[in-house]
Amino acid sequence: MGDDAMGETTMRRRTRRRAATGVLAGLLGGALLLTGCAAGSDGTTRTGAHGSASKGRGAPAPAPGAPDTRRPSGAPESPGTAGPEAPERLSTFALDVDTASYGYARRTLGEGRLPDPEDVRPEEFVNSFRPDYPRPKDNGFSVTLDGARSDADGWSLLRVGLATRPGDSERPPAALTFVIDVSGSMGEPGRLDLAKESLGLMTDRLRDDDSVALVTFSSEAEVRLPMTRVGDHRGRIHDVVDGLRTGSSTNVEDGVRTGYDVAVEGHRKGATNRVVLLSDALANTGDTDAEGILERVDKERRAYGITLFGVGVGSDYGDAFMEKLADKGDGHTTYVATPEQARKVFVDQLPGHVELRARDAKAQVAFDPGTVADFRLVGYDNRKVADEDFRDDRVDGGEIGAGHTVTALYAVKLRPGRQGTVATATVRWLDPATRAPHERAGTVDTAALTAPVWGDGHDSLQLTAIAGYFADRLRGGRLPGAPPLSVLAARAGALAERAHSASVRELAEAIRRADGLTGSGSGSGSGSSDPYAG
């Protein structure tokens, strides 16, 4: 991604996108157990270990479509610029916690190939690691802003972190419809075998009042299990899962259509209703371009609140196809390549993370043109929302679950000698039950962006920077202050050793492989207690 693409901060078309998640956000991501900021019951965040500063507001939002006369604290009074060098001041996007792009890139690099730049989505690299942001005591968001000075003259990094409260023990029941690809390609090791093992383990973790349905597809779809309460039927569910076998071609259209038929028929009011699609997404039968399926997916999302979660598998994987489906289904995607990753998705996170905190969540960052000369959002290219649509609740945002985090990273060029507010970040969301709109905001000033990013005590921000810089390099971009891949690998390795983190060690290894494949020189760098793992 070149600088022009990275520098695009507004768009003048309505983007009807979801951006993210619900039941499974933060999949394959890690919990970064570092010193954070204290949070009050209203989501207020005070200065933390890295010089962050933010303030939360839970004021009621205007009705959908109504003009908003409130101005975020610290934001300029006018949306205009401060002169010929000032950028447009707003950056608006739907929230997203997909991680499939990072998982598939690691798999591709492990096989000695560079990922296709079009399959690299930087926000999914960044959101594969979960910083220890403060958590609100209510059902809203905490808003944390921090940053540091980069190696490029005049440029700093700004991180916007959003987090929700972890789930309650008394979560709503789940109604999960699994749509499993059993085409011939799924016979490859690391595909259907992973699905069967993980689904079996997950069955033992679900509550008695949860419900499960199972649909398979190859050349056509077949309902293997209608919506069934787990209760006294765990043995029956195990028998169905154990009996899965591969077939022939891949008719994703029939699988998704039938899966939604089953989900609608078994829809449970008051439950979290989801379709979980597990596939390599290499459609070769039926409607293979996704467009014919999207209308149905969107219809059931609007009518019944049924969202789609995509789990990708396989060395050949239809990433763009899966992302389109999940986007329209107001869900998200992840990618699994090992039994450990599959168990993390289906066993550790799926049963416990079905409680929603927000629907149609969006973020808008207002930069102060008096202190900011330029800024570039890292990623979120497919999640951008027109600035004027931020408070239009008819425009889709992201679905956010309990205990989730969302991170946005910016490169920011500060005006020399200027002091004061750099940016105000506002998150807007709808209550999952009442659909009442809410907002909360935080600010950061120039003093928080002056320490060097690679200095001591910035491990959390360094990890975000490494992931963002790495993804940008894979796309051919050149973010200001981005180190060479060899230096990124060394820094990731050192961070992994300090934190005893296997997940960061895997990141370092992926960067080293990319460095070797691009011929830019090699860099040196190097379970359950991993502070960065999900």
H or E stretch covering 322 = helix 319-328
Let me know if 346 is exposed, middle or buried by CB neighbors in 10 A (0-12, 13-18, 19+).
buried
Same domain, 198 and 277: yes
Residue-wise pLDDT tens digits, 326-358: 777 767 788 888 888 888 888 877 765 677 899
Same domain, 212 and 149: no
Residue-wise pLDDT tens digits, 296-320: 788 887 788 888 888 888 888 888 8
Range of the domain at 136: 3-34+45-61+112-167+368-411+424-518
524: in domain: no
- pLDDT above 80 for 58: no
Q: What mean pLDDT, rounded, does the chain reach?
A: 81
The Cα 239–Cα 225 span in angstroms is 10
11: in domain: yes
Identify the pLDDT of residue 352.
Answer: 59
- pLDDT above 50 for 526: no
531: in domain: no
Q: If pLDDT is split at 50, 70 and 90, which confidence band does 211 have?
A: very high
Same domain, 285 and 152: no
Same domain, 309 and 236: yes
The Cα 271–Cα 521 span in angstroms is 53
Residue-wise pLDDT tens digits, 500-509: 999 999 999 9
Same domain, 163 and 28: yes
Is residue 111 within 8 Å of residue 33, measured between CB atoms? no
250: in domain: yes
Mean pLDDT along residues 120-141: 95
Same domain, 231 and 149: no
Identify the pLDDT of residue 49.
Answer: 34
- Among the candidates 320, 349, 378, a domain finishes at 349
Q: Are strands 307-312 and 272-279 parallel, antiparallel or unpaired?
A: parallel
Return the sign of the alpha-carbon dihedral for residues 340, 343, 345, 348. Answer: negative
Q: Are strands 174-181 and 398-401 parallel, antiparallel or unpaired?
A: unpaired
pTM of the model: 0.78
Tokens at residue 439, please? 């907002």
Is residue 175 within 8 Å of residue 267, measured between CB atoms? yes
Identify the pLDDT of residue 288.
Answer: 55
% of residues, the chain, pLDDT over 90? 53
Q: What is the DSSP letter of 481?
A: T
Identify the pLDDT of residue 164.
Answer: 94
Identify the pLDDT of residue 347.
Answer: 81
Is residue 479 within 8 Å of residue 466, measured between CB atoms? no
Q: End-to-end distance of the chain based on CA atoms, in angstroms? A: 28
Same domain, 401 and 461: yes
418: in domain: no
Comparing 237 with 323, the larger pLDDT belongs to 237
For 31-163, where are the alpha helices, taking DSSP H only? 100-110, 122-126
Same domain, 187 and 297: yes
Residue-wise pLDDT tens digits, 465-482: 999 999 999 999 889 999
**Of the candidates 169, 147, 127, 162, the residue with the CA atom closest to the CA atom of residue 39:** 162
Q: If pLDDT is split at 50, 70 and 90, which confidence band does 13 have?
A: very low
243: in domain: yes
Helix (H, G, I), strand (E, B) or coil at 356: strand
Same domain, 149 and 267: no
% of residues, the chain, pLDDT over 70? 78
Residue-wise pLDDT tens digits, 351-391: 656 778 999 999 999 999 999 999 999 999 999 999 999 99
**Of the candidates 479, 493, 494, 484, the residue with the CA atom closest to the CA atom of residue 514:** 484
Q: Which residues contact 172 (CB under 8 A, 6 or more apart)?
A: 270, 271, 272, 354, 355
Task: Give me the number of domains the chain comprises.
Answer: 2
**Of the candidates 476, 374, 332, 331, the residue with the CA atom closest to the CA atom of residue 91:** 374
Identify the pLDDT of residue 338.
Answer: 85
* Per-state percent for the chain, helix, strand, coil, to nearest 5: 30, 25, 45
Same domain, 395 and 490: yes
Same domain, 217 and 236: yes
Same domain, 335 and 394: no
Tokens at residue 66, please? 């109504």
94: in domain: no
Domain with 202 in it: what CATH number? 3.40.50.410
The Cα 465–Cα 477 span in angstroms is 14
Identify the pLDDT of residue 50.
Answer: 40
Is residue 358 within 8 Å of residue 35, measured between CB atoms? no
Q: Which residues contact 79 (CB under 8 A, 6 or more apart)?
A: 89, 90
85: in domain: no
Residue-wise pLDDT tens digits, 63-78: 444 334 333 333 333 3
